[in-house]
Amino acid sequence: MKRGIKSLLFLSIVACGSVGTGWATTYDLNDYGVSFTIGTTGAVATEFTQAMQPFNSSGTGVITPFLTINAKSTEAGVNTDGTPLPFDDQRPQWNNAITLGNLQSAAYRFALDIDEPKAGDKSILSLDEFKVWVLPKVAGGALVNGNNVDTYTDLADLLALKGGVKAFDLGANNILLHYDLWKGSGQILDMQLEVPSINFSGNSSDSYLYVWAKFSGSDNGGFEEWVLVPANTPIPEPGTFLLLGSGLLGLGFYGRKRMKA
Of the listed ranges 156-160, 198-202, 211-215, the least confidently predicted one is: 198-202
Select, from the ranges 43-52, 156-165, 177-186, the one with the highest average predicted confidence (pLDDT): 156-165
- Report how far residue 183's alpha carbon sits from residue 126's, in angstroms, rounded to the nearest whole number: 16
> 197 or 16: which carries more pLDDT confidence?
197
Is the predicted pLDDT of residue 143 greater than 70, yes or no?
A: yes
Residue 9 lies in a domain: no
Q: Structurally, how many domains does the chain consist of?
A: 1
Across-strand partners of 126? 176, 216
> 253 or 151: which carries more pLDDT confidence?
151
- Report how far residue 93's alpha carbon sits from residue 241's, in angstroms, rounded to the nearest whole number: 36
> 15 or 234: which carries more pLDDT confidence?
234
Residue 28 lies in a domain: no
Nearest C-alpha neighbor of 33 from the set 19, 55, 51: 51
* Per-residue pLDDT, 259: 43
pTM of the model: 0.80
Is the predicted pLDDT of residue 19 greater than 50, yes or no?
A: no
Nearest C-alpha neighbor of 211 from the set 223, 197, 228: 228
> 256 or 184: which carries more pLDDT confidence?
184
Residue 130 lies in a domain: yes
- Report how far residue 252's alpha carbon sits from residue 248's, in angstroms, rounded to the nearest whole number: 6
How far, rounded to the nearest angstrom, does the alpha carbon of residue 205 sit from its chain's CA centroid? 22
Is-contact 80 86, C-beta < 8 A?
Answer: yes
* Per-residue pLDDT, 198: 87
Neighbours of 210 (CB within 10 A): 26
- Report how far residue 158's alpha carbon sits from residue 153's, in angstroms, rounded to the nearest whole number: 9
Residue 18 lies in a domain: no
Neighbours of 23 (CB within 10 A): 10
Q: What is the pLDDT of residues 72-107, one digit of tens each?
A: 889 999 999 998 999 999 999 999 999 988 886 777
Is-contact 55 65, C-beta < 8 A?
Answer: no
Domain that holds residue 57: 42-231
Of the listed ranges 125-129, 217-221, 232-236, the least confidently predicted one is: 232-236
Category of 9 on φ-ψ map: left (φ > 0), alpha (ψ -120 to 50) or beta:
alpha
11 falls in which pLDDT band (50, 70, 90)?
A: very low
Residue 74 lies in a domain: yes
Residue 64 lies in a domain: yes
Residue 253 lies in a domain: no
> 120 or 44: which carries more pLDDT confidence?
44
* Per-residue pLDDT, 96: 92
Residue 23 lies in a domain: no
* Per-residue pLDDT, 78: 96
Q: What is the pLDDT of residues 224-237, one digit of tens each?
A: 999 988 766 766 56
